Copies of this chain bind each other. A is one copy, B any other.
């Protein structure tokens, strides 16, 4: 075995083997330029869950303004992520057999052409928006709520009940809060209001508790005033769809105290993240995250510094 740096990197070495046959290749195959459909399916007990990707955005490292820059850059470098951190926007569909629940809805047109692909992912996954019985929102930021409406402002899920935390719904409809918000944030209020408006007559505001049998909203406030997770339970199996508990896995598992610039209440967001990560590690529950690498499912364990994330096995069968 002669495996040294030279052989490892050697690009242009001539073939050394037995006589090459005069073999004529077929016509060139075209490059295809298309990605695989953006869904992934798995079972939680008897429930069928489909992870769906709306696209990707870049989170600039500067949005972790409380992070030590050198430490943050070292963590990104170790995990081979650039400072403009590629970040998934995921949603999850849960079919309990009795109801089809969609958790978050992607961006629609709110965040540019690199996103808004949830309708395509739903179609590829053979999930008809008209069959969605409930849309549960973890919170009402545009990358979670704006997919509620189509380009004309109509309900993208014509038969769905909308379920959202009452504190979340109230916050984005609070004119005083909107008027106090920095100018950059005002469109978030108007966008959130527009997104939920077509559902006004079929909106259920809750403060935790049952969304549907087997699905329970769990308050996890901080990122927004009503940010909530969805606990999925079927038999002994469980999944915690944790919304925006973590925005950048490469940073916030190791350093849960590094808040994200868009957190409404950073101290509360940090306390929530610590509590949930610790509980998830203790309970060994599978988690799903809207900004974890697609399909965004895995497990949490404790590490020497903070926590570690272990993506789930990509299984060819459900």
Taking beta carbons and an 8 Å cutoff, which residues of A are in contact with B? 1-5, 7-18, 20-21, 23, 25-29, 31-41, 48, 50, 53, 55-56, 78-81, 86, 88, 95, 97-100, 114, 117, 124-128, 130-134, 159, 161, 165-166, 201-211, 214, 216, 218-222, 231, 233, 240, 268, 271-272, 275-276, 279, 283-284, 293-295, 298-299, 301, 304, 308, 310-318
Q: Is the CB of A293 within 8 A of B317?
A: no
Q: Is the CB of A276 within 8 A of B3?
A: yes
List chain B residues, Cβ under 8 A from A310. Answer: 78-80
Q: Is the CB of A35 within 8 A of B316?
A: yes
Q: Given A41-B32, A314-B295, answer yes or no on A10-B53 (Cβ-Cβ < 8 Å).
A: no
List chain B residues, Cβ under 8 A from A100. Answer: 28-29
Q: Which residue of B lies closest to A161 (CB)?
A: B23
List chain B residues, Cβ under 8 A from A15. Answer: 204, 206, 209-211
CB distance from A294 to the nearest CB of B (A): 4
Q: Is the CB of B26 within 8 A of A34?
A: no
Assembly CA distance A33 to B126 (angstroms): 11
How many chain copies does the complex carry?
A: 2
Q: Is the CB of B21 within 8 A of A202?
A: yes
List chain B residues, Cβ under 8 A from A295. Answer: 314
Specify which of A13, A132, A165, A304 lies most central, judged by the most chain B CB atoms within 10 Å of its CB: A13
CB distance from A173 to the nearest CB of B (A): 13
Q: Which residue of B lies closest to A211 (CB)?
A: B15
CB distance from A304 to the nearest CB of B (A): 7
**What are 23 A-B residue pairs whose CB atoms fall within 8 Å in the complex?**
A1-B268, A3-B218, A3-B272, A8-B276, A10-B208, A17-B209, A18-B166, A21-B203, A23-B161, A26-B131, A29-B128, A29-B132, A31-B48, A32-B41, A35-B40, A36-B40, A36-B125, A80-B284, A80-B312, A114-B316, A114-B317, A117-B316, A311-B311
List chain B residues, Cβ under 8 A from A133. Answer: 25-26, 29
